[in-house]
Amino acid sequence: MTKIAFIGLGNMGLPMAANLVRAGHDVSGFDFSAAALQRAWEAGIAGAESGASAAKGAEVVLTMLPMGKHLIEAYTGDNGLLAAANPKTLFIDCSTVDIESAHVAHEAAAKAGMLSVDAPVSGGVGGATAGTLTFMVGALDDAFNAAKPVLAAMGKKIVHCGDAGAGQAAKICNNMILGVSMIAVSEAFVLGEKLGLSHRALFDVASNSSGQCWSLTSYCPVPGPVATSPANNSFKPGFAAALMLKDLKLSQAAAENAGATTALGLHATRIFDAFVAAGGADKDFSGVIEFLRAAHGGSRP
Ligand code: NAD
């Protein structure tokens, strides 16, 4: 049994913390939101008064926060986690943040004498609930080895991507593929509709042909072919378009810093930006198909 402080009990953090409790760990959770703390309490997670009080005496401090600025503030702000924890505590950040913030967090942790890991996830709320997340880890070997058993209680696949920040790099690249491929699949269905193809016919062909990809076969943007996809549920997230836009913007910032050409990534960012501005922020990102369908005949994105 490991004593774990879990900071950020939102859509992802709550089910992840619940899986740590189920695995027999001693979890103390904190979130700014009283509603999130209440849900955590109902799920059997002990609530702490602050992040710092959860971190005091913990062997592992795990964060699942919205963005880089929240991570840096939680680590180093007033009553911060790094100052509260004992030296040599393992800090695991599972949030998706920009690579620069990940480096700043690692450096602050090292300065405070901690082990640290960036370990963003893929698999969404469904994967967090089922304990089947994929973790992409950036860390030195000793921190990675220490984090592995904790991550194993929340996921099924743990990939050591490299040193500090490498997990965030992998996450950003993966989600750029996802954003681009969801638009490609959506465009194909919209074109198929215009050409008189049924959704079923296009799905049956493409899912058995070279157009096959996760956006088609696991998360199909039209209702019917994949029973669990948000298209069957009025595009309730799932993975909100606002978060996809955030990840695409992170990919473009990283591409600019690194001098990489990501023309489709840039175009996908613009399309999701327009979808979000048109009211799609809280819809599942596969709802971009409705935006593309509506754009036909009007101004093309
Ligand atoms: P969320 O907004 O539901 O939860 C974040 C929580 O963090 C909120 O409850 C907020 O109150 C809390 N918080 C912020 N700062 C805090 C602080 N200093 N101390 C304590 N609590 C604090 O977001 P989410 O959907 O759970 O996503 C969390 C992270 O996981 C994001 O970085 C997101 O990009 C990533 N992610 C999300 C999904 C998904 O499908 N939702 C999938 C993969 C990765």
Q: Apex CA 250: angle with CA 66 and CA 67, to 5°?
A: 15
pLDDT in tens, 266-289: 999 999 999 999 999 999 999 999
Tell me the average pLDDT across 296-300.
52
Residue 298 has pLDDT above 70, yes or no: no
Q: Where in the chain is the domain with CATH 3.40.50.720?
A: 3-163
pLDDT in tens, 195-226: 999 999 999 999 999 999 999 999 999 999 99
CATH of domain 3-163: 3.40.50.720
Ligand 1 contacts CB of residue 15 (under 6 A): no
Q: Which CATH architecture group holds 169-295?
A: Orthogonal Bundle (1.10)
Ligand 1 contacts CB of residue 36 (under 6 A): yes
Q: What is the pLDDT of residue 125?
A: 86
Task: Select from 32, 49, 172 the residue to mutate for testing ligand 1; criterion: most ligand atoms less than 8 Å from CB.
Answer: 32
User: 63 CA distance to ligand 1 centroid (A)?
Assistant: 9
* In the chain, alpha helices (H): 13-22, 34-42, 51-55, 68-76, 81-84, 99-111, 124-130, 141-152, 166-194, 199-206, 214-217, 241-258, 263-275, 288-295
Cα 295 vs. chain centroid, distance in angstroms?
28
Instruction: List active site positions.
Output: 171
Lowest mean pLDDT among 26-35, 83-92, 99-108, 235-244: 235-244
Pairing of strands 3-7, 60-63: parallel
User: 14 CA distance to ligand 1 centroid (A)?
Assistant: 9
DSSP secondary structure, 265-276, as one string: HHHHHHHHHHHI
User: 242 CA distance to ligand 1 centroid (A)?
Assistant: 13
Tell me the average pLDDT across 120-128.
91
Q: Which of 136, 217, 216 is nearest to 173 (CA)?
A: 136
Ligand 1 contacts CB of residue 251 (under 6 A): no
Residue 126 has pLDDT above 90, yes or no: no
At 300, the pLDDT band (50, 70, 90 cuts) reads very low
Q: Apex CA 81: angle with CA 35 and CA 25, to 5°?
A: 65
Q: Where in the chain is the domain with CATH 1.10.1040.10?
A: 169-295
Ligand 1 contacts CB of residue 66 (under 6 A): yes
User: 90 CA distance to ligand 1 centroid (A)?
Assistant: 20
Tell me the average pLDDT across 134-160.
98
Q: CA 225 to CA 232: how far, in whole Å?
A: 9
